[in-house]
Amino acid sequence: MELQISNVSTISLAKEFGTPLYVYDQQKIIQRINNLKEAFPNAQICYAIKANSNHSILKLIAQQGLGVDCSNRFELELAEKAGFNLTNSVFTSTNPSDTDLKKALSTNILMNLDHISIFQRLKKIGLPKRISFRINPGFGKGKFPEIDVGGKDSKFGMSEELATECYHLAKESGIEHFGIHMMTGSCILDEAYFEKLILTMESIAENIENKVGIEFEWMDIGGGIGVPYESFENHLNLKSVGERIKHSKKSNAILVIEPGRYIVAESGTLLTTVTTIKENFVGVDAGMTTLIRPALYGAYHPIVLANNIYLEETETLTVVGPICESTDCFAKDRPLPKIKEGDILAIQIAGAYGFTMSSQYNGQPRPAEVIVSNGCYSLIRKRETTEDLVKNEL
């Protein structure tokens, strides 16, 4: 039986649009958003645009009433075009340029700054009505070390002591509305971690409020809500996470969360054609330019034979792409069915940090993207051509 996504044949999609091809399940995106709303009914939910920034997907998410989390002026502009309400959104940047700060200031978005020098630069441009600072609590967590964004070696955030100085300076500058931010890791599947995070934030927030004489109106714990990529992993019990946070949070500050991966990762599938069988190597037309996570982190993605999902796994194979790098590998020594040239493989859970991290290395045009829903499908990004590779060159 062919792999179906929302009652649409992946083989038919591959034939019509070619491969590599990203396919997104619209209903999964909506369901994940509804799960978040149920688990965090009083929270301000801001989608982390970095996870997947396709315009059609952004419009879909904005239509569900979510805010957005942006990290630079370009993401702010994408969010505006998609229809997000930026006054109910957050700007969380690291090492922003003055141009980034000017754009953020013009939108009235809640600005999260992660160093005092950035606030000093901002003061020369203008003062927002509200401000938030990003604190590094000295610990972090992530599925891979590369996506652990807390602790002593992290470039993100600042110490409680420096943050206290920032809030003093902001108050003296005339700002009257304050938030506090603490994003420490990505793809976390440990319920207790989020409880630890809110308890730590509550303690730090109370210290700063007492020292500076302010009251926090927003408490932003960032993103980090993971999804299971591997068979031994389980989904987070989001309702349980929500209850833990609810019981641990004593402050009246509005809870802000910034999920990205959770909303879009499981909706996405990357279809790729088998071009070459070479001993135990299966060569495909997608590469690390199409989906870099396996090369970048050693990340695991499930891979199935889209032509027949019920074939028994009788082989041990290594799936590789066409890029001139040894790291261009999607799976090493993976149990798979017997595969032949011309078959279609489906690399799953590819909706987050897939296309957004793609490149044109080795002269590879970026792939097309399609969204499916209940038997219907639409092309939401055309495949690039050679002309696209050179159109901005002089």
**Nearest C-alpha neighbor of 94 from the set 178, 183, 163:** 183
Cβ contact 274:282 at 8 Å: yes
- C-alpha pair distances (Å), 96 with each of 100, 168, 216, 238, 321: 6, 22, 24, 32, 35
Cβ contact 225:261 at 8 Å: yes
- C-alpha pair distances (Å), 203 with each of 7, 142, 148, 216, 382: 49, 23, 22, 12, 49
Q: Is 70 a catalytic residue?
A: no
Select which of 46, 70, 166, 324 is catalytic.
324
Going by their DSSP bridges, the two strands 344-348 and 8-9 should be labelled as: unpaired
Backbone region of residue 174 per phi and psi (left: phi > 0; alpha: psi in -120 to 50; beta: other values): left
Cβ contact 286:319 at 8 Å: no
Distance, in Å, from the CA atom of 109 to the CA atom of 130, rounded to the nearest integer, reads 9
Phi, psi angles (nearest 5°) of residue 365 = -65, 145
Q: Which amino acid is at 153?
A: D
Distance, C-alpha 190 to centroid of its chain = 18
Rg of the chain, C-alpha, whole Å:
22
**Nearest C-alpha neighbor of 353 from the set 248, 284, 273, 267:** 267
Residue with tokens 């931010």: 181
- Active-site positions read 324
